[in-house]
Amino acid sequence: MSDVVDTPPRRAATRPRQPPASLSDQAVVRLREMIVLLEIAPGAILSEPHLTAILGASRTPVREALKLLAAEGLVLLRRNRAAIVAPLDEAELHHLFEVEVALESHAALLAATRMSQAALDQLARLQVQLEDRHQAGDWAGYIRINQRIHSAVVAGADNPALAETHARILGRLARARNVGLSAAGRMEESIAEHRAILAALQARDAERARTLFAAHVERTGELVARHCAEHSPGTARRRRTTR
């Protein structure tokens, strides 16, 4: 009789399955994207019946989504009235871009020396994709990749506290940035700025990466401020009175 004991074959290790996203989570993700991509304009009324139809969710998940997005500053809840997309406030956006300049330019400074070569190579691929989406006239695709580039630089800083702070205001930052990108000629200008930032990061030139990223964000902030000034209620009234 053989002394060898048969043992059952080992099963390949399997990753635990992630629970499916709840209806509320799905509604939050989709509604946030619609607001950030400017598919729903600032100040627009968020009718619950309309949202349930376009999001494919019942009123309870939609209401939960509105509450969460209100906490992010993207939605404004009103007593006994329908919620609205948070309007653009020039003073608030000025402060928001001051924070973005500080966070993202410092992230670029750190990323220049801390980012792995693999992460830099991925950033270069994202730059190619960004330019391809622009050439194809794919606004939504361009915006998504642009956001991935900014987030990749922040991640490259390898500073969890910085990344956490950035994530808290990412929705409002992204929406404001997209307003700036909608200005005529800004996408081409932004692409050139991204190329220069990528070159500085690849050269491991920390100070140049910081300076270029600060100027990049400041330029977008200028265009958003101009947009707010041109579309403020006071400006509209003045236009009507001068006709």
Confidence of residue 90 (pLDDT cuts 50, 70, 90): confident
Tell whether the model's pLDDT for residue 35 goes beyond 50: yes
pTM confidence score = 0.78
Tokens for 50? 């309309």
Mean pLDDT within 121-141: 96
Domains defined for the chain, CATH in brackets = 23-85 (1.10.10.10), 90-230 (1.20.120.530)
Spatial neighbors of 136 by CB under 8 A, at least 6 apart, are none
CB 112 within 8 A of CB 209: yes
**What percentage of residues in the chain have a pLDDT greater than 90?**
66
- Enclosing H/E stretch for 77: strand 75-78
10 vs 36, more confident: 36
Mean pLDDT within 215-240: 76
Helix (H, G, I), strand (E, B) or coil at 82: strand
| Average pLDDT of the chain, as a whole number | 87
Predicted local confidence at residue 5, as pLDDT: 46
Predicted local confidence at residue 230, as pLDDT: 83
Predicted local confidence at residue 147, as pLDDT: 92
Mean pLDDT within 25-51: 92
Tell whether the model's pLDDT for residue 134 goes beyond 70: yes
Tokens for 120? 């830099």
d(CA 200, CA 106): 14
* 50-78 per-position pLDDT tens digit: 999 998 889 999 999 999 999 988 999 99
Confidence of residue 21 (pLDDT cuts 50, 70, 90): low
Predicted local confidence at residue 233, as pLDDT: 58
* 151-184 per-position pLDDT tens digit: 999 999 999 999 999 998 888 888 988 888 888 8
Lowest mean pLDDT segment, chosen from 3-7, 21-25, 75-79: 3-7
